[in-house]
Structure 1
Amino acid sequence: SVVDKAERGAAEQYLVQSFLAAPCATVDASIGVAVAAGPAGIAASTMLKRMIIDNWRASSANAPPAEKSALVTSFASRVMQAELPAPVLRQLGVGFGVVASCEYAAGLFEQTTIDHLIAASAQREVRWQRVHALTLLHHFLKSGASRRGQAGAFEPVFAGFAPQAVAAMEECLGASDQMWDETVFVLAAKCALRCCAVGRFDTAVVLRCVDICNTLMAGDTSTERAHVSMNRVGKIVTRGIAKHCSALAASGIGESFAGAVLPLLCNATMPPAGRYPGKFVSRALATLQTVLTLTVSDEFLTAAVGGFFGDEAVVRQLIGNLVSCFLCDADVDMDDWRRDPERCVVAAELDEDGDDETHCAQQAWLAMLLVGGDDVARPAWSILSDLFASGSEEATIGALHALGVAYDYLAAGQEAHFREFLRARLMPLITGAQGCSLKLLRRAVWVTGMWCFTVTDAAERHVVQSALANLVASHSDTVIVLTAIRSIENYVTDDNFTPEELPQTFGSVLERVGAVLPTLNDPDSVKLVVALLSSLMSKAGAAVMSLDAVVQLLGPVLKQYVQRAVDDDDRSIGACVMELTQALAQATAQCTDAPAAWAALLDVAMFVTNPEHTVSLMAASEAWELLFALPRCTPSAAAAHVAADARRLLAFAVESAARDFEDLPTAMRAAAAVVFLLRSAGEATAADAELALSAVQHLLTSADNEQLLEALACIVEASAALLSPDALATLFRCAVDGASRLKSEGASALAFNAVCAMFARCAQLQPALWASLDGGLIAGLLDALVEGHDEMTDEYQARAIVNAAVAAV
């Protein structure tokens, strides 16, 4: 309760030291302060909880067992002596849970303390005592359930307390609205959840909870009380079933599973949408997905689910509910659409992670198709066709959504069916021949891309691509434009793609892409557009687009996202930088204007790889690859125009040799590539060679990485011919010393041979250097050649080693 921060800090430090020296005594004294009235109680309980969580397990290891056992009993009894403020009770409950679960698992106190709390949680005369007891039990069970490998020690408590916790819930639910006690109900439900989700599967308890759910679902579900109750009870059922799916066969649940549990999970999808709480529905759908997925390997579940879904009426009703209630994009708000259109594009995709109703409905729908096969696919097509024909826009959107996410399951044998649907229903929406809302147009464009593989005729693909291209070029809505780009990319990456299917007006698509890309803020949207450009470069290249223009377009965007990656550690931004860098490298390798490529890329890539700028390792790695690619893909005729930039890159790569990082081999290969480029154009000087070889001489004193040493050998090959005789002799001696070090350290044959290739190159240029080699190194060279001949992958290096061995002998 001390106000002064310095004094409070000193008090906390004192308490921690006291706790580490005498944990039981400190906890006992702190409880005494915490249960006292006033602000000191809140401060003490908060600090006590923190100390216990951080230090109890380690600091109490040497405390006498009798002392710890007495502390648990004292802790519980003192919390139960008088009514405490809710914040104090909550903090003390957490602390008690940690202490009691640790010592209970170790067998250091009797069951009596827990039995007293269970008894107190059942009495109705003094409410605060019941709340206190349930709070302590809840945190004890929660902490016990989280103890890896020791949860089995708590089985007697789980088994004994579960029926009583459910009885307390039933008692609360049976009370009138005036007597409704939400605190007691929620605490009892939390205790029951721990018992059912961690302890052995208790068939009777779970079925009682199923009955409670059915009763609640049949009543008024619009009240806050109903929402709280359904969420809590539903969580017990779904978590218990999901946790113990593999043990259901031995649980004795038998016919009750198909007769009671599965209907409950399916009934949670009953229309209208919003009838039941969102969390209740999501958990039911997620559990249904788990059950369906496990039928592949569980005979009991296979029989139960097979019998339940053997009724086609049940299957049709469930599919209809999923599609019409949860896949119709009812959660898409048009204000959000206009305010943040990029998020609406990403939301349209199939997301494998999520816990909202839409996501869980998608996964349950796919699990039905996975398990049911033709028995589900057949009625599914019929149901979707009925929804399309209903005239309801929501129903149509839901059907398109279901069709799009399930392309992998519904396509078999239905390709012609979809192509007819594409011509008759989707193309009129996409071309504007049939007016529709933006929501419906988005789904129509999206599902056209998802089913691209079914359209195999080149002429028909041309028609679709033309319609999508027209949307990209002319539509004013960002969501529609980006969704159309995504669908075009699907067609381009499809195995059936040919450049001829692109319309003659495709240039207007690239112009729109160039206008849209710099305005995008979401990394996922940028990746979507970059994916199209990368796919076009791979599949069509310069036949459909100017690669010089792609370089000029992507360079500034990469620079923008690099700056964001430095300021923001969001992984999606780092991934975006990586994909932009890959696309730039791809474009650079094919572009014709080498000086423009250097100007656009060098500054950005050097910024990414600068150690002072913190970007993701993936992004930095791709940037180094780009710096390696730049000189290699630059025509020698253009070398004179980029010589100044090339020397900047050479200096930067050599400077990076002073630090140890994952992409150092690539940095050294970039240095070698620059020297090769300058030599090819007659621009290389002795100063360039000496600068590059300074990195070699620095790294040869300690390097043993095969890739790095091979990269250094490339630098030597590129630079040695430019050196003076004295500099060549110095490099020779440095390489010989490096080879001797590697031989004595037992390095790999590849590492040793890479260094031998360096002094072999020097001696090739100045044969007199061979005379300084000692016999031991010659023998080591021959041994390494024999040991490593199977590993040699570079023909030039292999020849250099052979020549070195022959010349040395």
Structure 2
Amino acid sequence: MDVVLEVLRTSNNNDERKKADAQLRQMQESDPQAFLMLTWDGISSTAVDTTTRFFLASTVVQFVEQSWQHSVPKDLQVVMINRYLHLLLCSEPLPSVTLARKVALLLGLMLKRCNARGEPGALPPPLEHAGKMIGESVVHAVNNLSPTLIGLATQYLLVLHVVLKEMEGKRVGGVFPRLCASLVPVMSSVFVSSATWDYVTCYMPLLYMMKCVLRVFGSGVFDAGFYPHLLDITWRLAHSVSVTGQPTERVERGQRLMEYAIKVQLKMLSVFPSKMDGLPPAFFISQGNGDMEDRSLLALLVAIIESPIGTVVTEKLVCRALLTFKALLTVEDSQPFVANCVIALANAPQLLSRVIDRITYFLADATGDAVLRAWDLSPEHHAAELERLIDDTEHVSSCAEELLLALTGSTHCSESSLRLTWEVANALLDRGGVEEVTAALHVIGICCYTMADGPYSASFMNFLAAKLLPIITAAATSTVGDQIYPSPFVLRRVVWVVGMWCESVKGSVARSEVHRALTSLLGAPTHVVLQLCALQAIGHFILDLNFSIEDVPAECVQGTLCAIQNLLPQLSAPATIEQLAGLVQGLIARKLLHVGSGELLLDMMLPAVYRAISGAQRTPDGEADHSGGNDDGDEESDDDVSLQGRCIGLLLECVHSCVTIAAPELEERVWSLFRAIVLPCTEPGSRLSLWADEQAWELLLSMCCAARSWLPETNDALLFCLDNMTREISSRHIVVRCVYSILLLCPEPAKHISVALVDHAMAELTQTCSSDVASAYFALLAVMLRRGEVTLRCHLLSLALHKFLSIKSVHSESFSEQLALLLAWGFLPYGDCENWEVILLDTVAKVLLHHPNANSFVEWIVLLFDVSPGPFVTEQLVRLLQHSLSAQHTVLLQLIGEDDRVMARKAVEGTLLPPSSMQERGADTDEVGELVRDPTEMLMELFGDTALIGASPHVIRLCRLFDVCAIS
């Protein structure tokens, strides 16, 4: 075994490592005790170098994660837990913190996955013993702390931190809260002792103590006596780091400890909101008259927020302070005690004003010539940075936005917050500095929802008409060199604010003015950043719930399209391309673009699609999977790859929309997309297939439905789809729909329809659990029934009837109705055979003659009347009954008895009442309305094609094939 471990530790040969890894797994399964003892000897030996000990510990960690519970006997688990516990708590620390952390992780995983069970309300014995020993060791080391024992105290606290971190994930049985409760005396004692430590000399034990505090008092237990003490310590740290002229190391270590102290308070507010009333109100906000120093939590948070970032506080600390403030506001509606604290905040205008002033400061944009040059180098990045990032807890501007929204949206504090915010924003707008104006505009834009009600909405509309739109218009009619040209930084925020407030701009007149202003900026010689922001704002208005076609003048639509066409070749960021493609889709969906726009749209979008496809094909499939870097780098790479894939998918959706409004004369160009886009994007195993397989098939389906003539590419597409329809892919139902749609158009369908295809389709219809797949195969079977030659039609009808008669209950199987419809459509007239009806009746008779459930045929059709989704389906069932009962066929006359005929006649009579008669009988209005619905619409529902418009070539072909007018 030691040879195998050495190979895994030292070899760079991939084959050797795979072989050794397989051998080690086999040894671990056959003799886990030998593996655990061998690795223990190496990890615990001071004669073994640290690197090897770390490797062995990592190997055991992997084994514990995978096989500890089911492969290692309980007694051996306890033995190994005690050994590693004593190793970590011995009188000499391990040679490195890294090794100590890895061995502590090993111990934590063993305890977490241990099979031992405790008594009700008690901890499992191994965990109870470990917690007691670690706690005692920590207290002893802390109480006797000296320079020589700092390393040992650090290791003990590190062990406690890692064990707590692992046990936090064990939610079953309330183990983690009970463990934390048992450690409260330990942590309280340690915290009291640490008050006298110098946080530079004792930084490491203090850091791990804070990490333990975060688990115990942040997530495990609520201790009302602890948090005020933590708050007092944090205030002392705050005073210490704010002293000027200190060594950098001292400030940085104090800042790090403060970050954890505030994180504990943030965690406490998030985990224990219902227990806040256990703390005095003065803990959160000062209740005095201002003569005494305010040492409340909110005062501390404001002091942190107001401190200079970099010299006194870190950005992470400020972010945590902002988020802690927000966490308190988020529970005001559910916790009366917290609501009273928020009311006290609303009645403390000085404190609230300081918060809003500082938030506004954080929301100012960077300005200057260097920033403007950066705009020209990466315009997409600087346009995208205006977008709000949800759940961004690492950047102060995002956290400031979150707190501002919480304050202005608060139940008890919004009135004061909104008034102060509006006053601060207006004061900054009047004062006139570029950065200050961008901050004010940022504030107004972020508050688009919280300010939307009350007097602020009307104030904004005045602001829009008097200030914002004139600024945009001035920029569009001036040049960068003109003195009246507004600052590009201000202009960017102005455009953004207009887009953010789109829902508050009501009425076509006002919205048209906005569109004219924004579109005018697109044609002006200005920065690409500003054009992208203008398109983004236009997109907000297009997709807004208040949208109407009258909002957008025709010249604005044309200006928007021209801008997109000019910009797309210059863009490389997938997010920006995705955004513009989404805007084009929005224009099509809102019916602002019509058939005449198809060629322009294809000219605009196809080059971007081809570039994206080409770029993806040039990138090796495994490039994004390299793991040579750190985790953060890998995650960033994965995000980029995901964004690129999403961009290609949306581009294909956009082309799909363009195809739906392409003019008939563009058909050959549209079908050129089959080879250029559909084939590479659906190639099995390719990166493009992983990203855009479904969108590519949807594009092909839209091409099939819009097709008017049979082209060589159409024939190739049919063969391609037939080859792919049996693949196990999520878009298989779309592939089948492509087959059915092309067969509707095909001039010689008999060449492509076979008995094997019918059998496959029928099996899928009756066996699949997917309603989408069943609907697609039903449509395919119906078209094959109507367009196949007579022998194949007979085979399909025979198969459908056999499946129908074999159903145990027609009400329990979803495909019962679909099989009955196929039988009914089998009796529609055919023009290719004179005696078609006789042949089909012979087929039906033959099945009925040999099937054991033949006597149930009429009854089951009648039963389907009860679950018919509408009059159209009922008509088909009536037609089926009438043909079966009126057929002068010897076998059918014998098999269908008089009782069945009487039952069928009564069922038919009950379905043939005209709408007027139903109203006289008091039928439901919706039921009467169903009878007068457009039969084309009902046919489309049956075939799953409701998204298609009535003038679609596909719809016309389908209605003609099923003679909808004649039926209905």
Task: Give the TM-score of the pair, scaled to structure 1.
Answer: 0.88
| Residues 555 and 584, structure 1, Cα contact 8 Å, conserved in 2 | yes
CA pair 336-121 structure 1, distance change in 2 beyond 3 A: farther
CA pair 9-402 structure 1, distance change in 2 beyond 3 A: same
Structure 1 CA distance, aligned partners of 2:210 and 2:780? 70
Match for residue 681 of structure 1? Answer: none
CA pair 60-333 structure 1, distance change in 2 beyond 3 A: farther
Name the % identity.
18
Which range moved further: 494-503 or 144-153? 494-503
| Residues 230 and 280, structure 1, Cα contact 8 Å, conserved in 2 | yes
Structure 1 gaps, min length 5: 679-683
Q: Does 1:769 align with 2:796?
A: no
Report how far residue 407 of structure 1 moved. Answer: 0.4
Question: Pick from 685, 695, 705: which aligns with 2:757?
Answer: 695
Structure 1 CA distance, aligned partners of 2:409 and 2:859? 58
CA pair 760-450 structure 1, distance change in 2 beyond 3 A: same
Structure 1 CA distance, aligned partners of 2:590 and 2:653? 16
Report how far residue 505 of structure 1 moved. Answer: 6.2
Match for residue 815 of structure 2? Answer: 751
Match for residue 419 of structure 1? Answer: 461
The letter of the residue matching 2:794 is: A
**Residue-by-residue CA offset, 1:275-333 (whole Å, 9 max, x unaligned):** 52111111111122121011111111111111122222222221111011245458995
Q: Does 1:278 align with 2:315?
A: yes
Report how far residue 543 of structure 1 moved. Answer: 6.4
Structure 2 CA distance, aligned partners of 1:298 and 1:209? 23
Match for residue 229 of structure 1? Answer: 257
| Residues 438 and 493, structure 2, Cα contact 8 Å, conserved in 1 | yes
| Residues 653 and 667, structure 1, Cα contact 8 Å, conserved in 2 | yes
Structure 2 CA distance, aligned partners of 1:627 and 1:4? 50
Question: Pick from 360, 377, 380: which aligns with 2:399?
Answer: 360
| Residues 181 and 221, structure 2, Cα contact 8 Å, conserved in 1 | no
**Residue-by-residue CA offset, 1:512-564 (whole Å, 9 max, x unaligned):** 21122243222321222122222222334346972321133223433444566
Match for residue 553 of structure 2? Answer: 502
Report how far residue 447 of structure 1 moved. Answer: 0.4
Report how far residue 460 of structure 1 moved. Answer: 4.2
Question: Pick from 526, 535, 552: which aligns with 2:577?
Answer: 526
Question: Pick from 359, 369, 378: which aligns with 1:340?
Answer: 378
Q: Does 1:255 align with 2:279?
A: no
Report how far residue 796 of structure 1 moved. Answer: 5.3
| Residues 518 and 557, structure 1, Cα contact 8 Å, conserved in 2 | yes
**Residue-by-residue CA offset, 1:578-625 (whole Å, 9 max, x unaligned):** 433333333322221441552354332344344444557884334333
Question: Pick from 539, 557, 569: which aligns with 1:489?
Answer: 539
Q: Does 1:88 align with 2:88?
A: no
The letter of the residue matching 2:134 is: I
The letter of the residue matching 1:67 is: V
Which range moved further: 348-357 or 410-419? 410-419
Question: Pick from 294, 300, 317: which aligns with 2:331?
Answer: 294
Report how far residue 404 of structure 1 moved. Answer: 1.0
| Residues 578 and 618, structure 1, Cα contact 8 Å, conserved in 2 | yes
Match for residue 71 of structure 1? Answer: 83
Structure 1 CA distance, aligned partners of 2:390 and 2:329? 17
Structure 1 CA distance, aligned partners of 2:54 and 2:344? 57
Which range moved further: 381-390 or 553-562? 553-562
Which range moved further: 365-374 or 320-329? 320-329
CA pair 265-717 structure 1, distance change in 2 beyond 3 A: same
| C-alpha RMSD of matched pairs (Å) | 3.4
CA pair 384-728 structure 1, distance change in 2 beyond 3 A: same
Structure 2 CA distance, aligned partners of 1:576 and 1:253? 53
Report how far residue 384 of structure 1 moved. Answer: 1.1
Q: Does 1:62 align with 2:67?
A: no
Structure 2 CA distance, aligned partners of 1:649 and 1:320? 63
| Residues 363 and 443, structure 2, Cα contact 8 Å, conserved in 1 | no
The letter of the residue matching 2:704 is: P
The letter of the residue matching 2:378 is: D
Aligned counterparts, 1:457-606, within 5 A: 458-494=508-544, 495-499=546-550, 501-502=552-553, 504=555, 506-542=557-593, 546-561=597-612, 567=621, 570-592=641-663, 593-596=665-668, 598-599=670-671, 601-603=673-675, 604-606=677-679
CA pair 707-520 structure 1, distance change in 2 beyond 3 A: same
CA pair 211-627 structure 1, distance change in 2 beyond 3 A: same
Aligned counterparts, 1:62-461, within 5 A: 62-63=74-75, 67=79, 70-71=82-83, 73-78=85-90, 80-81=91-92, 83-100=94-111, 105-108=123-126, 110=129, 112-122=132-142, 123-125=144-146, 126-149=149-172, 150-167=175-192, 169-172=194-197, 174=198, 180-221=201-242, 223-249=251-277, 251-259=278-286, 260-270=296-306, 272-274=308-310, 275-328=312-365, 337-355=375-393, 356-371=395-410, 372-413=413-454, 414-430=456-472, 431-432=474-475, 434-456=484-506, 458-461=508-511
Aligned counterparts, 1:645-664, within 5 A: 645-664=713-732
Aligned counterparts, 1:729-740, within 5 A: 729-740=794-805
| Residues 266 and 318, structure 1, Cα contact 8 Å, conserved in 2 | yes
Structure 2 CA distance, aligned partners of 1:580 and 1:774? 53
| Residues 824 and 876, structure 2, Cα contact 8 Å, conserved in 1 | yes
Structure 1 CA distance, aligned partners of 2:686 and 2:856? 43
CA pair 752-534 structure 1, distance change in 2 beyond 3 A: same
Report how far residue 358 of structure 1 moved. Answer: 1.3
| Residues 762 and 781, structure 2, Cα contact 8 Å, conserved in 1 | no
| Residues 541 and 547, structure 1, Cα contact 8 Å, conserved in 2 | no
Report how far residue 509 of structure 1 moved. Answer: 3.2
Structure 1 CA distance, aligned partners of 2:374 and 2:239? 35
CA pair 759-83 structure 1, distance change in 2 beyond 3 A: closer
The letter of the residue matching 1:266 is: V
Task: Give the TM-score of the pair, scaled to structure 2.
Answer: 0.75
Structure 2 CA distance, aligned partners of 1:544 and 1:369? 46
Structure 2 gaps, min length 5: 1-5, 243-247, 287-295, 479-483, 625-637, 831-835, 886-968
SS at match of 2:196: helix
| Residues 597 and 661, structure 2, Cα contact 8 Å, conserved in 1 | no
| Residues 34 and 42, structure 1, Cα contact 8 Å, conserved in 2 | no
The letter of the residue matching 1:620 is: D
Match for residue 620 of structure 1? Answer: 693
Aligned residue-pair number: 791
CA pair 615-782 structure 1, distance change in 2 beyond 3 A: farther
Structure 2 CA distance, aligned partners of 1:719 and 1:360? 60
SS at match of 1:63: helix
Structure 2 CA distance, aligned partners of 1:655 and 1:501? 46
SS at match of 1:408: coil
